[in-house]
Amino acid sequence: MHKPRPLAVLFFVLFCHAPAVLPAASVVAVVGGSGGAYAEAVSGLKSVVSDLDVTTLPDNPRLKGAQVIVTFGSDAAQQSYPGSIPLVAAMLSNPDFEIDHAGSVTRVGFPPEAKILAAKIKAIAPATSVLVAIDPKGAYTDYLKELKSAAAGLGYSVDVRKVGGVSGLVALLPGLKGSAQAIYLPPDAMLMNSSVVGALIGFCSGAGIGLFVPVPGLEKAGALASVSASFREIGRAAGLAAQAYLQGAKPGDWVYPSRADVRGKDSAVGGQDAQ
């Protein structure tokens, strides 16, 4: 009788017991770090997406069978992904961060939806007739256009002022005395430093202009109020965009959180939209 060769038997056993390569979930999240902000954003994603795989760099995500990729952070967004899979990119370092992806791309912005911001500003400063919105290097042009439209429906105007840098902002301020009741500063890295914000708060305080900022905590330094979106809400917005792709729809080039966190230097101002 012919006896099986030991090597053939070994290969047969290894083949039969090799772990199967499982397909990825319908949504694969790639996270650029392990900090608290990333964890909060992922929790928001999980609140609306159940079939989900989460990979933290530098680990490689399992993409076979994935229908949508969601990235958190610029490092995650700049990785190479199959062009056949739509990409939802959140928590980018700046709005015009370049993403090299052959397929559909939807970016998730930091501020809440423009109509939400417009309504919060109206509620906090109802006497405002002119709001000056700062547009750093044109990075927020489309968003501020939506803000202008939403504000018009609420009875006040938005005067968008594009600045090329910090010096441009400083040069702009003296001309706003007497012409604007409020200023909105978007969440741009160029402007979000202590010296710039401190100078702006000092100017607004002296000129009697209400300052709306995009980062919680700055209201304690003298801004009229902060209107922002939590990282959880940013993750939730990314999840809703992913769901739209799963349903065969294109959510748009940009989406924004639909809930806002409002905090004011006046204790009567503040609160987070219902979850």
Q: What is the mean pLDDT of the chain?
A: 91
Note the pLDDT tens digit of each residue in 95-112: 989 999 999 999 999 999
Q: Which range, of 27-31, 113-117, 262-266, averages the lowest pLDDT? A: 262-266
Given a cut of 50, whether residue 90 has pLDDT beyond it is yes
pLDDT of residue 10: 47
- The domain segmentation of the chain, as residue ranges, is 27-110+231-258, 114-228
Given a cut of 50, whether residue 12 has pLDDT beyond it is no
Residues 6+ apart with CB under 8 A from 45: 29, 52, 70, 235, 236, 238, 239, 242
Q: What class does CATH assign to 114-228?
A: alpha beta
In this prediction, residue 18 has a pLDDT band, given cuts at 50, 70 and 90, of: very low
Note the pLDDT tens digit of each residue in 150-170: 999 999 999 999 999 999 999
In this prediction, residue 191 has a pLDDT band, given cuts at 50, 70 and 90, of: confident
CB neighbour burial string for 157-169, b if at least 16 within 10 angstroms, e if fewer: ebebbbbeeeeeb
Q: What's the half-sphere exposure (Cβ side, CA atoms, 13 Å) at 48? A: 19
Given a cut of 70, whether residue 219 has pLDDT beyond it is yes
CATH placement of domain 27-110+231-258: 3.40.50.2300
Which residue type, as a one-letter code, is found at position 52?
L
SS3 per-residue string spanning the chain:
CCCCCHHHHHHHHHHHHCCCCCCCCCEEEEECCCCHHHHHHHHHHHCCCCCEEEEECCCCCCCCCCCEEEEECHHHHCCCCCCCCCEEEECCCCCCCCCCCCCCEEEECCCCCHHHHHHHHHHHCCCCCEEEEEEECCCCHHHHHHHHHHHHCCCCEEEEEEECCHHHHHHHHHHHCCCCCEEECCCCCCCCCHHHHHHHHHHHHHHCCEEEECCCCHHHHCCCEEEECCHHHHHHHHHHHHHHHHCCCCCCCEECCCCCEEEECCCCCEEECCC
What is the share, in percent, of the chain residues with pLDDT greater than 90?
83
Please indicate whether the domains covering 27-110+231-258 and 114-228 agree at the CATH topology level.
yes
Burial class, 65, CB count within 10 angstroms (exposed 0-12 / middle 13-18 / buried 19+): middle
In this prediction, residue 56 has a pLDDT band, given cuts at 50, 70 and 90, of: very high
